[in-house]
Chains A and B, each alone.
Chain A
Amino acid sequence: MSIENGTAGGADLDKEPQIHIRVDHQLIADLVPSGARVLDVGCGDGALLYHLSHFKGADARGIEVNRTRVAACLNQGLSVIQGDAEIELKDYPSGSFDCVVLSQTIQAVRDPKGTLETLLRIGNHAVVSITNEGYWRNRLQFALGGRMPFRENLGENWYNTPNIHPCTIRDFVALTKNMSIAIEKCFAVRASGTYREVDPWSAAANLFAVQMVFMLGSIPAEAR
C-alpha cells in the first residue's frame, strides 16, 4: 500500500501495463490492495474498474446511473449495476467491501454527508476524490471577475453543473472531522498531473491543488 510522490503516465509507470489512465484513477488504483473487494460508485465507462480487475486482481464492482455507460461497462465484461447510488447503496450489507471508491462524485450527490456515512458502512475504507473549488484560479475568478467558478471546457456553468455541493479541500476535511472520520492518507493533485501526499489541512494544497484524493478509515461506532 506504499505510494510515492509521482507523475501519472511517468517513467515509474512502465512496470504497469501501457494504458492511459486518469491521474486520480492511477492514485486510487495504487491505494487499493491487490485482490481487494472494491465497489466503484459512479463508475462511468468502467476505466478504473477495468484497471482494478485486470491489473490489481480485484473483485471490482460498479454502480452507474447512466444507461449507456452501464452498457459500455457490461460490454467489457465488468460487473456493474445501473442505478442511483444514493438509493442502491442502502441495500448492501455492512462491510461488504474492503474499499469503496467515490471518484469526483461527492459534489454531485443530494446528501454528501449521508453518502459518506453509507460508504464507510459498506466499506472498511473509502477512497474519495474531490474537485477543489478553493483552487487559486477559482478564487481569482470569484474575487476579481465576480463570477462563480466554472469549467468552460466541460460546458459547465452555475445553472447546469451537476456539482450541486461544491466544496474546497478544507470544507471537505472539516466535514470528515465533524463526522469523526479518520483521513488515513491524502494526495494533492496539481493541474500538471503531478501529485504528492500532503497534510489534510495544508493551506498550499487548498490553494494549488485542482483535486484531492482521500483514503478514509471507518467511522468509530460511538461517533455514528
Chain B
Amino acid sequence: MILLSNPIPWDYMVKRICGLNGGLAGADTMARDTDTQRTGGGTIDPSTLPGEFVTLAGDTKLDLNSGAQLGPINVAYTTHGTLNTNKSNAILICHALTGDQFFCGTHPLTGRPGWWDTMVGPGKPLDTDRYFLICPNILGGCMGTTGPSEVNPSTDKPWGLEFPVITVGDMVNVQKLLVDYLGISQLFLVIGGSMGGMQVLDWAARYPERVFSAMPIATALRTSAQNIAHHEVGRQAVMADPDWCAGRYQEEGKRPHRGLAVARMGAHITYLSESALTRKFGRSLQSRDRVTYGFEADFQVESYLRHQGITFVDRFDANSYLYITRAMDYFDMVEEHGGIATDIFDSTSVRFGIISFTSDWMFPTVENREIVKVLNGVGANVSFVEIETDQGHDSFLMDIADYHRVVRGFLGGTAELLGAAGP
C-alpha cells in the first residue's frame, strides 16, 4: 500500500511508549469487553443506529476530486426542529474529524450528550424551536454514511483501503445531494468547527447561492504543515498496529485498537492547550502518593489520555480515521483557486461569522484571520471575534458563555436580514 511503505519497528516503539504490558494499559481489557458485544470483530453496525438513512448518487455516480467515481452512497443523518413552510429555517451542521450525526441529545453508542448538545436545543443558540437542524455523517465516516468500513457492493467485502481517497469537497458534494433530496433550495446557515468549518467554507465558496450565511469556527483556508504532521503521526500509529492487517482487519476479524487509541491520544493533546492541561491536571498523581519508578500511568494526565484513547476506539473506525485525516491534509482552498485567495469568495453574497479561540494552537487566530482578510478583500459581509478561553481547539465544543452569545447574536442578526420570509 502506498500509505505504508518502509514500516519501522512500531510494535517495539509503541510498547516503549505505552507501558510494559505489550500495549496500551487497559486497552486489552477494553478490547475484550467490546468484542464480546460485537461479533466478527467488525466495526459499528449502522443498521442498529437511530436517525435517518437515505441512499443517494444511485443513478449517477458522484465524481470525486481524485477522479474516481462513487455511488450509490448511503447517508446517515439526524434532524431536530421543524422545517417551516417556505423552507427558510434550515441549518446544516458540519461535524468535525471524529464527530458524527448525533450532535444533540444522548449519543446512542456512548450514552453521553451529543457533541454539540450545549449549543443545540430549545432556547439554545441553535434553537430547535426556531430552526430546522440537519447533520449528516460525513462521507468516509463510520456511523452509517458510506465509508471504508462499509461493504463495497462490487466485491461484497468491506472497502478497507479499496475505498477511494476522498476530500472535504467530496464530503460537501454528498451533503449537497442530501440538501437537494430534502428539497431545500437555500440553507439559512451552514455551521461547523474545525474540519466542519472547512466544509462550511467549501459550501460558501462553491455553492454560494445555496447558502444565506456561514459560520466557520476555529478553522482555516488550508491545513497547516503542523496539522498534517500530527495527522501523519496518528496514521502511522494505526498502521503500526499488527491488527490493522494492511487495512483488512474486518475480514481478519480483528480491530487495531491499540494503534487507533495511540492516534487519538496524540490528537487529543492538539485539541487542548498547555494552560488547560496544567489547570486540570498539573503534575498530580493518579491514585497514588508517589511515583512508581515504572511505566504505569503515574500522572493524572496520562490516565486521562489513556481513557480518551480507549473510549474512542469503541465508537470509531481505524480506516475512517486514515481517510478523514487525509481529506483534511488535502484541504487547500487557496491552491484550489490557482493561488489567488481573493478568487475563493469573489463577489459573494453570503454573510459570514467567523470565530477563533485565544488558546487554539491547532487552528490559531492568525489562520482564522486569513479567512477574514480574504473576505474583506472582496468586500464580503463578515464578522469576526476571537473568544478568550484556555480550552484550546476543543473550545468550539464547549459551553462558553461569550461564544454562545456571539453565535446567538449572529443568527439573530442574520434572521433580521431575511425579515418575515426568514426563520
Binding site for B on A (CB under 8 A): 59, 61, 67, 70-71, 73-83, 88, 91-93, 96
Contacts and interface: CB of A to CB of B under 8 A. Distances in A.
A76 B415 CA distance: 12
| Among B369, B376, B409, residue most surrounded by chain A Cβ atoms (within 10 Å) | B376
Given A81-B384, A82-B386, A93 B377 contact: yes
A74 B381 contact: no
B353 A74 contact: yes
Contacts, number: 68
A91 B373 contact: yes
Band of interface residues on B: 20 to 34
Interface in B348-405: 351, 353, 369, 372-373, 376-379, 381-388, 402, 405
B413 A76 contact: yes
A193 to B, nearest CB: 31
Interface of B: 351, 353, 369, 372-373, 376-379, 381-388, 402, 405-406, 408-410, 412-414, 416
13 contacts: A67-B385, A71-B385, A74-B405, A74-B413, A77-B409, A77-B413, A78-B413, A79-B351, A79-B381, A80-B383, A83-B384, A91-B377, A92-B379
A82 B372 CA distance: 10
What is the predominant secondary structure among interface residues of chain A facing chain B? mixed
Contacts of A75: 405-406, 408-409
Contact of A79 (B369, B408, B413): B413
A79 B408 CA distance: 13
Contacts of B406: 71, 74-75
Contacts of B412: 77
B379 A82 contact: no
A82 B408 contact: no
Query: For chain B, what secondary structure do more than half of its interface residues adopt (helix, strand, loop), or is it mixed?
Result: helix
A201 B408 CA distance: 48
Given A67-B385, A71-B385, A77 B379 contact: no
A78 B417 CA distance: 11
A75 B410 CA distance: 7
A74 B353 CA distance: 9
What are the nearest 4 A-B pairs in CB distance?
Answer: A77-B413, A75-B409, A91-B376, A81-B384
Contacts of B351: 79
Given A76-B413, A79-B413, A71 B405 contact: yes
A83 B408 CA distance: 21
A59 B351 CA distance: 12
A70 B388 CA distance: 12
Contacts of B414: 77
A92 B375 CA distance: 9
A114 to B, nearest CB: 18
